[in-house]
Amino acid sequence: MIETTQYYDEFIRYFNLAAYQQEKCNTSTKPPYGMIEHAKSNMGDDLLHYVTLYDVVERKLAGFSQIINDCFYGWTEQHPYWKKMEAGKITRERDTVAKAWTGKHADFSLPEWLYIFILHRVCGSAINYATQPSGYHNTILFVLNNAKTIEDMVTMLNNYDRSFYTSIGYQFPAFPKPPVGSIYKKGGDYYLSEFAPRLARDMAEWLQQSNIRKDLREIGEYMFEWNRKNGLRVYQFQYAAVIADIADWYPQYVNRESMFYYGTNARECISYLAKPTIKMNQDQFLDRVMEKIYADTNSLPYNAEDVCCDFIRWVENYVRPGAHYNHLDFDGVWSSCRIKDHPYGRQKAMLELNLVATFNGMTAHPSDDYIIKKAGLTVEEYKKRVKEYVS
C-alpha cells in the first residue's frame, strides 16, 4: 500500500548510525556501555561527531528524558546509565539529581510519578538544544525530591522563585487563564495546582483498575477527554510525551508495540519516506509507514516517531546556535546524508550555489525554505540548479 523513496533508504541508514552511536557513546546493556566520547566515535558523520542530539533511537535515552531517569532510578544500578555513573563519566547535573532522588519510591507511587511526568512535559521537558547537557534546563525537578506528596510539590512550585518553564526546543501548551483574584499569576501554575493533580490520580486509578494493558492511543484518548471534560484544550503534543513516559517507566500498563501519535516533525519526515500506492487518509498512510519502519528496524512505534523527528533535523543539518556550538564552523559541519537536493534547512549546496554567503553568525537555524525563498527560488528551481551545478 506504500512505496518507499530514497529518503526511506537514508532513514534506515541514519537509524543504524544513531543506534550504533547510542551503544558507543550514550548507553548500552553491553560493552562499551556508552563510554566512548562522541568526538572519538568515528561515525563518519559531522553531526554525530559534534552534536549530542543524534545519538539515540530510544526516547528514554533522549535529552528530554535524562532528568526523569535520574529522578525515577536515583543513584542505583537500575539506572540505564549506571555503568557510566560507576565510572564517574557523568555530568554534574546527573550526579546532583540522581543522588538527591535516591529512594523516592518510598514516598511516591504511580499518581506522584504521573504528576511528575505531566509537570515535566507541559513545562517544556527541560530542553535547550543550544546547551549541554540539554535536558536539565529551567526545571523544578532539582528540588522536588524534598516533597512527599503531590500537594507538597504543588506548594513548592507555587513558592519557587525561579522560572521552570522553557520553550527553547519544546513548547508548553495554552494553559487556562487563572480566575480573577486567585493566587495564581501564571496559567501554568494554575493548571499544575488545580488540574494536573486530579488528572494524575484519576489516570492512575484508571490504569490500575484492570489487568488489561492499554494501547498508547487509548491512554491518549483518556487524557484528551479528561481535558475536554474539565474545560481545557487537548494538549496533544505534551500529553503524547507523557504517554511515552508511561510506556518507558510503567510498561506493565501499556501495549508498547501499539501505534503512537505523530508530531509535526514526524509527519513531515514520514511524508518524505514513502508514497501511498492506493487511496488512503493521512493517518492510515502514517501508520502503514510506521509499520514498515517497525518491521525493518524493530523500533517500537513510539520510539521510531522520535527518531523520525531527529532524522528530518539530520537531513536539514540542524544545529542550534548557542553557547556549546558557536565554536563550530557552520559552513563545514554537515550530516552524511546522501540526498544533495533537499531544499530546506541548512544545506551545503546552498553555499555552493551562492544562495547564502555563510551560515556562520546566524542566530537561529534557517528552517523550512528560508534560504531558497530569500534567494527567490521555488523548490523545483532549487532542485534543478543542484542537479545542474552541484557535483
Q: What confidence tens digit (pLDDT) does each residue in 151-203 have?
A: 999 999 999 999 999 887 677 899 999 999 999 999 999 999 999 999 999 99
Q: Are residues 183 and 273 in the same domain?
A: yes
Q: Are residues 223 and 357 in the same domain?
A: no
Q: Is position 379 within any domain?
A: yes
Q: Are residues 352 and 304 in the same domain?
A: no
Q: Is position 329 within any domain?
A: no
Q: Is position 145 within any domain?
A: yes
Stretch 90-103: mean pLDDT, rounded? 97
Q: Are residues 15 and 108 in the same domain?
A: yes
Q: Are residues 254 and 138 in the same domain?
A: yes
Q: How many CA atoms lie within 13 A of 238 on its CB side?
A: 25
Determine the 3-state secondary structure of 80 from DSSP: coil
Q: Are residues 184 and 59 in the same domain?
A: yes
Q: 389, exposed or middle or buried, with CB in 10 Å at 0-12, 13-18, 19+?
A: exposed
Q: Is position 50 within any domain?
A: no
Q: Are residues 80 and 137 in the same domain?
A: yes
Residue range 33-87, pLDDT digits in tens: 999 999 899 999 999 999 999 999 999 999 999 999 999 999 999 999 999 999 9
Of 259, 281, 310, the one marking the end of a domain is: 310
25 and 34 Cβ atoms separated by less than 8 Å: yes
Q: Is position 107 within any domain?
A: yes
Cell for 347? Answer: 544545506
What is the domain range of residue 159?
2-19+55-310
Q: Is position 383 within any domain?
A: yes
pTM (2 d.p.) = 0.95
Q: What is the pLDDT of residue 259?
A: 98
Q: Are residues 88 and 162 in the same domain?
A: yes
Q: What is the C-alpha to C-alpha distance for residues 194 and 364, in angstroms, rounded to an integer? A: 37
Q: Are residues 75 and 125 in the same domain?
A: yes
Q: Are residues 13 and 76 in the same domain?
A: yes
Q: What is the C-alpha to C-alpha distance for residues 81 and 68, in angstroms, rounded to an integer? A: 12
285 and 276 Cβ atoms separated by less than 8 Å: yes
Q: Is position 333 within any domain?
A: no
Residue 60: which residues within 8 A CB-CB, separation 6 or more? 69, 80, 248
Q: CA 226: distance to chain centroid?
A: 24
Q: What is the pLDDT of residue 169?
A: 66
Q: Are residues 121 and 252 in the same domain?
A: yes
Of 283, 310, 337, the one marking the end of a domain is: 310
| Amino acid in the structure at residue 190 | Y
Structural domain count, the chain: 2
Residue 43: which residues within 8 A CB-CB, separation 6 or more? 17, 20, 21, 49
Q: What is the pLDDT of residue 129?
A: 82
Q: Are residues 101 and 170 in the same domain?
A: yes
pLDDT higher than 90, residue 324: no
Q: Is position 215 within any domain?
A: yes
